Chain A
Amino acid sequence: MIRTLIHGGPVLPESGPGLRRPQPLPAGLLEHLVRLQLLDGLPFHYLVPEPAALPPESLRFFFVDRTFTDALIEGAMRAGSIGAQDEAVEDAVMDGLYGVKDQLEARLRALAGQPAPEHRVEPLERMTLTGLLLRSELVRLWPKLRVKAFQDGEARLGTLRIQRLAPDLLIAVFAGVPLRVELVEPYEGTRFGVERVGDSHYQLNPRRDDGAQLQMRGEAVLIDITDFIAPSRRVDVTGLGGALAGALARTSVGPSRLALCLQQTPFTQAFTAGGDTEPGGTP
């Protein structure tokens, strides 16, 4: 009886839900909801119910279905609900200006580098969330693989989440719809090497003194160096130096120039809207 008296029914008008401005969510709760919104911590089979939807060596782009994440948020806000009062609060604060979803949207915008105005008269318009799933050896071998999303030209889209879900699985969530996404090889210190073409051909793109790759009419100049690599994989350094000197119109190349031409820079693979892909060199 006493329990019922304490927890039951209607409320004093001045403290009732719907009559107050929704209170700020505690920081821990807000971050939890943000993680849910970004699908962080969800069992993977909720994201990809069938393995065939993400086979090995595949890259899949997606939109985030906000109706699903809204349901996640609603479920989270109902957790531990023990009575009519709690439900009344939850119903009252979910939507509307400064409601839970509005606060969550503001937090997402802040994370994306597009902070919402503190004082506003209408709830924020909900932004479209997109992302990608990469299941590939690339993730395992280059765990610091970088993902960049671009809205237009060089204008970057905020990356709200980038995380390795498994040794060979990476997810990224963007704040908006990108027109171009770049997967960038991480920088792992100075590296030297050659480029392979096909199974048994090798090439190099000579570099000028300032490090820029040699180009002709906007295209990278590539020289075939297959003949300078013996079956034992020993490199004919003298022959290679001569070929580079010829390409650079010099009489010879010294050790530092030779090393510069052999130096490898992080590779960038760009995917553009419409399905085209552009392999890139230096980002």
Chain B
Amino acid sequence: MSDDSLDRLALTVPPGGLRMPESSGFYAYDQMIPDLPPREAPYLLTVQQLVGQRTGVEEGPLEQRIHGELEALETFLLRVEGPRFSLDPAEIVACCPPASSRDVADTTLPHVTLKRRTLPWERGQGPEGLPWLALLVLQEGEAELLRGAPLSALRGLADIPEGRCDQLRLPHQRLLQLLPTPQELAQLCHVRQFPLGDREVGDDEDGFVSLVLANRLPAPASEALAALVSLEGLRGIDGAWQADPGVEPWGGERYTPVVRLPVLSHWRFRTGAGGDFEERMEALRTRVAGEGRAAGVGLFAEESGGRFTLERRQPDGGASLCSYRGPLTPLDPAQALTTRPAITGAAPPIGPAAARELGRLMTLSKPEVLSDLRRFRDHQWGFDVEVLTAGALEAWLGRMPEHEAPLPGGGRMYPDLSALLGSDRLEALRAPWSALERLAAARTPGLEALEGLVAADGAAPGELAPAAQLDELHIDLRSTSR
């Protein structure tokens, strides 16, 4: 999925019935009422067979279309189950704002996305099939969340089994203030169909999800509780909400009409005070830059041309001023030559020197890079590391005390060389080293002698390069001293 596809939005209302949406959109449906909603009482399922002749009637019940005798073959009891007092977490695709999130914009309308497209209507109420789920947003102290309270404490519900569930306990009057009206509740639930595999539905097998929106914005800079509650049994004969409150203590009052609602899912989040992305960006954009462009939008260090006068500590504890210009500058390099201010003698510039030292230190701190650098230098020089590693030779030389180091030309092998390098490497090392020994013994400075020796040794000059880096001055001195 390309990065830009993140900006896609929607297609709504599928033309011509159900079909899979294109990869860049989704279809939206006002509701999806199940044909056979879940209920406590079982359904009676009868299998019948009708054998006969067509009557010529093309529409209507089977008995009108076929003339014959209807024979009942078998009868089943069918129980359709569905969530009622709790919800499997796997049924929840997403909730927004995410649980435990902080600094949520207080202009966000919370919602929950459910895996089953029919879930909000499965225990529908009234002839119009109103949803039975509502997402309430509650501020601190407005309601009490009871974890694992007995189902028997719920009132106004038929066929309550034994068991426990999470419940929301709040004053009856407050519930009526917060609940969406039945008409509003119908507006707060809908269904969306996404392409299979879309990030909005994850691994959902059919791409359909149902969404339940809250009807309340969270208060700014506060803790909020989002609770998906069941409104089953709450609707009265007149169509309005008609709870059956119990009289319980609440907020210091002994007798308060209090309602308990089953909570199928809940999560908490905290809002911030600075608004959403747009508001914060707007504040940044329009911030009036104070003295010296204290905030808002501008060029980096525009007033000083990118230069800073800093205090430089001296080794003796003293301090002096210096001018530092770092890698960030407000000046276009194409124009910098004509606009860059002259360097004054009072504050010497330290930018390039600081950069050079910083680059060196940052490289030294990375052994693998340093190794690469070493390899690059050697390779650039034509140093065949497979024949002779500078490190090994360096180590060997470092282990030889200067006064004990045998002078080259003695024709003998150094006793600790094989122990240090191993026999294989020693063999590889021997040829160039012997050439060097003979060079030293020849007492002849200069490249001509070296090339002669190399040729006599049968090795190509390139292979001997590391060992044949002559210090003419050294050989001169050596010749003189002998």
Report A's interface with B, CB cutoff 8 A: 1-12, 14-15, 17, 20, 22-23, 25-29, 32, 36, 39, 41-43, 46-50, 52-69, 71-80, 85-86, 89-90, 92-93, 128, 131, 133, 136-138, 141-142, 146, 177, 183-187, 189-196, 202, 207, 209-212, 229, 232-235, 237-238, 241, 254-260, 262-267, 269, 271, 275, 277, 279, 282-283
Contacts and interface: CB of A to CB of B under 8 A. Distances in A.
Given A75-B355, A232-B216, A256-B28, A2 B329 contact: no
B12 A256 contact: yes
A42 B327 contact: yes
Query: Which residue of B219, B310, B356 has the most chain A CB atoms within 10 A of its CB atom?
Result: B356
A9 B324 CA distance: 37
B274 interface: yes
Contacts of B354: 46
A190 B109 contact: no
Contact of A41 (B113, B353, B362): B362
Contacts of A77: 359, 363, 373
B283 interface: yes
Contacts of A258: 187
A203 to B, nearest CB: 10
A262 B109 CA distance: 8
The 5 closest A-B pairs by CB, nearest first: A8-B471, A75-B359, A256-B28, A71-B355, A79-B363
Contacts of B292: 52
Nearest to B355: A71
Contacts of A9: 469-474
29 contacts: A2-B408, A9-B469, A11-B381, A12-B468, A32-B369, A46-B355, A55-B294, A59-B284, A59-B298, A60-B299, A63-B333, A68-B351, A68-B355, A71-B355, A78-B356, A128-B333, A141-B272, A141-B277, A193-B217, A207-B9, A209-B11, A211-B10, A233-B217, A235-B216, A237-B215, A254-B187, A254-B190, A256-B191, A275-B297
Contacts of A4: 471, 474
B188 A76 contact: no
Contacts of A262: 109, 213
Given A5-B470, A58-B295, A138-B280, A65 B96 contact: no
A205 to B, nearest CB: 12
B377 A86 contact: yes
Nearest to B184: A237
Contacts of A12: 447, 461-462, 465, 468-469
A207 B469 CA distance: 78
A68 B325 contact: yes
Contacts of A92: 380
B335 to A, nearest CB: 10
A72 B283 CA distance: 37
Interface of B: 3-4, 6-7, 9-13, 25, 28-31, 94, 96, 103, 105, 107-109, 111, 113, 137, 177-178, 180-181, 183-184, 186-192, 199-200, 211, 213, 215-219, 272, 274-285, 287, 292-301, 306, 308, 310, 324-334, 351-364, 366, 368-370, 372-377, 379-382, 393, 397, 402, 405, 408, 436, 440, 447, 461-462, 465-475, 478
Contacts of B13: 209, 256
A46 B358 CA distance: 9
A47 B180 contact: no
Given A58-B297, A211-B11, A193 B107 contact: yes
B367 to A, nearest CB: 10
A279 B308 contact: no
Nearest to B334: A128
B443 to A, nearest CB: 13
B9 A11 contact: no
Given A29-B376, A192-B108, A65 B328 contact: yes
A189 to B, nearest CB: 6
A68 B351 CA distance: 7
A241 B186 CA distance: 12
B372 A26 contact: yes
A253 to B, nearest CB: 8
A199 to B, nearest CB: 10
Contacts of B31: 255
B283 A80 contact: no
A267 B277 contact: yes
A27 B329 CA distance: 30
Given A7-B469, A11-B465, 15 more contacts: A1-B405, A5-B470, A12-B462, A17-B381, A52-B292, A72-B327, A72-B358, A77-B359, A80-B373, A128-B334, A137-B274, A190-B200, A229-B217, A258-B187, A266-B277
Contacts of B306: 62, 65
Contact of B111 (A50, A69, A192, A202): A192
B204 to A, nearest CB: 14
B383 to A, nearest CB: 8
Contacts of A93: 380
B330 A2 contact: no
A210 B363 contact: no
B147 to A, nearest CB: 26
B109 A193 contact: yes
A76 B94 CA distance: 49
A238 B183 contact: yes
Contacts of B355: 46, 68-69, 71-72, 75
A1 B382 CA distance: 23
A237 B355 CA distance: 61
Contacts of B372: 25-29, 32
Contacts of A128: 332-334
B190 A259 contact: yes
Contacts of B379: 23
A231 to B, nearest CB: 10
B327 A46 contact: yes
A184 B328 CA distance: 24
B105 A193 contact: yes
Contacts of B6: 186-187, 266
A47 B362 contact: no
B377 A1 contact: no
B297 A271 contact: yes
B352 A67 contact: yes
B397 A79 contact: no
B288 to A, nearest CB: 12
B53 to A, nearest CB: 46
A271 B286 CA distance: 12
A177 B335 CA distance: 13
B473 A8 contact: yes
